[in-house]
Amino acid sequence: MSNESTISQPVNYIADAWSEAETVPDAWNLDPNTRERVHRSVTTAPDDVERALRHAERVYDVGHWDEDARRERAEILERVADIVETRIEDIARTDSLTSGTPIGVTREVAAFLPARIRASAADLVNIPRVTALAAGGRDVRLYKVPWGPAAILTPWNGPSFIPAAKIASAIAAGCPVILKPSEHAPGSAQLIVECFLAAGLPSGALQLVHGGGDVGARLTADPRVKIVSFTGGPGAGRAIARAAAEDFKVLQLELGGNNPVLVLDDADLDVTADGILDGMTKLNGQWCEGPGKILAHRSLVAPLLDALTERISKLVVGHSLDEDVQLGPISNAPHFRTLQDRIEQLWNLGATLHRPARLPELGGYFLSPTIAVGADPAQATAELFGPVVSLHAVDSDEGALRVANASPSGLDAYVFGADTGRAIDVGSRILSGEVRVNGAKIADLGDDSAQSFWGLAGIGGHGPAESVRVFCGDRVVGVDSADLPL
């Protein structure tokens, strides 16, 4: 397969028509493997953002949620899934050139997209939009009503999956969507939008605007937007929350954190090292639920470090489009600098750095998976968001819990231990929305998983049953009665 960078210049989709996006002077999106130019960086003019907002407001209609309407919307999503299946290789390649994640991994992610979209279609058919309530024979109904126009802001680390999942959920709910992907990942999002549009969406159901934080700020502050779904960093999350407070928008903010890993004294060393390595290299470590701060029983610190460095030294690091590569480059220049700064901060806290991987001579944003050992865990709190972990010694389960909960990530956590009952008990006491025992997969732990974002991890949550639900509000309509007590 050619490693040539071939992502088209991004364009907007506003008011049911494709239109050129403005180019940013002297700015380019670069191939993270080589730092070669891929396309000009783009943004959206304020007048075009206004056109998108007007169109979303104009087409919003609560509508009727009878069986025919629900099935028609579900059939559209089924068609979207069918179309995505024909674009898997395009999506995987664009994701790989955008995020730096190896093509073998992005193919797996892209291949899962149709199932995720079909899950929203199934929710449409299976979750009642109107439910009769028990009310002593009176006609009282509970309606699930779409909130209204939705601004969806997506990150560069899940460049196709996150837009596809959020758009499918919002469209299933009935919210007109304005999507603004990360300025570092416009190509993947555009491919996903093309698939949705080819399925025959109603007018205004989906619009696409490109740009950076200024475009996102205009969308999220506008009163015509009723719900904001955002995955990204805490700084942008706080700005969105402040803007949303003016008219009390509904928010779903997934902001990440420095996720703790508790290694209990009975942990199997191979299971632990394999799980941590999987977590710190999955998506090149660029995922908000990845492991960050390892709190290992003192007796296991040295052997765990040896096991991890041995495994890292054998990783194949290289161009993200090479079939045999296990780890690609960091996605973009700003995040590459951020990771280097965070590694230096750990070194300044007294950590010893272990970076055993061999790096290719390609000129890209390559970084060896790094283990920083010995820093004060109370100060090692910054989210790492890359193939980097810090390793710290603790003397007991209680000590590990104290450190983990003193500055909780609130999003994800991990526990490794041979006695799974004990490990689950410890995990239930960590201030986090999800705790995985003896592994570091991404997929939901169970069909009915539900994960809240605790503390600084954000607002809201996610899970299979919640994806469509977050875009709907409840409305009770019914006949009153003189017999009610008050």
pLDDT digits (tens, 9 = 90+) for 1-25: 456 657 889 999 999 999 999 999 9
User: In the CATH hierarchy, which top-level class contains the domain 11-255+462-475?
Assistant: alpha beta
At 457, list the tokens.
């991890």
Kindly list the strands in the beta sheet with 130-132, ordered across the sheet, starting from the edge strand earlier in the chain.
130-132, 140-146, 472-478
How confident is residue 29, by pLDDT bands cut at 50, 70 and 90? very high
Mind listing the pLDDT tens digit for each residue in 130-157? 999 999 999 999 999 999 999 999 999 9
Question: pTM score, two decimals?
Answer: 0.95
Q: What is the pLDDT of residue 445?
A: 82
C-alpha–C-alpha distance, residues 281 and 199, integer Å: 35
259-448 has which CATH code?
A: 3.40.309.10
DSSP letter at 469 equals G
Nearest CA among 182, 179, 184, 218 for reference residue 196: 179
Q: Write down the pLDDT at residue 169.
A: 94
Per-chain mean pLDDT for the chain: 94
Q: What is the pLDDT of residue 449?
A: 78
Residue with tokens 């610190």: 301
Q: Helices (H) and strands (E) in the chain — how many of each?
A: 13, 22
Cβ proximity of 182 and 160 under 8 Å = no
pLDDT greater at residue 463 or residue 174: 174
DSSP string, 254-308: E----EEEEE-TT--HHHHHHHHHHHHHGGGG--TTSEEEEEEEHHHHHHHHHHH
Q: What is the pLDDT of residue 64?
A: 67
Q: What pLDDT shows up at residue 125?
A: 86
Instruction: Average the pLDDT over 365-393 and give the result.
Output: 95
Dihedral angle of Cα 376, 379, 385, 391, to the nearest 10 degrees:
10
Amino acid making up residue 76: I
Is residue 410 pLDDT above 90, yes or no?
no
Q: Hey, what amino acid is at 61?
A: D
Give the model's pLDDT for residue 386.
Answer: 95
Strand partners, 436: 414
Categorize the per-residue pLDDT at 99 as very low, low, confident or very high, splitting at 50, 70 and 90: very high
The per-residue pLDDT for 5 is 57
129 band by pLDDT with thresholds 50, 70 and 90: confident
Q: Is 309 exposed, middle or buried (CB count within 10 Å of its CB: 0-12, 13-18, 19+)?
A: middle
Give the domain ranges of the chain: 11-255+462-475, 259-448
**Residue 427: strand, helix, or coil:** helix
pLDDT, mean of residues 406-431: 95
CB 317 within 8 A of CB 366: yes
- Decide if pLDDT at 465 tops 70: no
User: Mean pLDDT over residues 479-486, rounded?
Assistant: 91
pLDDT tens figures, 33-57 = 999 999 999 999 999 999 999 999 9
- In sequence order, what DSSP letters do the residues of 224-236 get, joined into one string? T--EEEEES-HHH
DSSP 322: S
d(CA 349, CA 379): 8
Work out the average pLDDT over 279-306: 96
pLDDT, one tens digit per residue, over 213-248 is 999 999 999 999 999 999 998 899 999 999 999 999
At residue 256 the predicted structure's pLDDT band, cuts being 50, 70 and 90, is confident
The answer to whether residue 451 scores a pLDDT higher than 90 is no
Residue whose entry in the numeric block shows the structure tokens 């969406």: 201
| Structure tokens belonging to residue 59 | 């087409």
Q: What are the residue numbers of the active site?
A: 254
d(CA 133, CA 142): 7
pLDDT band at 128 (very low <50, low <70, confident <90, very high): confident
Stretch 194-202: mean pLDDT = 97
In one-letter notation, the amino acid at residue 201 is L
pLDDT tens, position by position, 318-367: 999 999 999 999 999 999 999 999 999 999 999 999 999 999 999 999 99
The whole-number pLDDT of residue 452 equals: 86
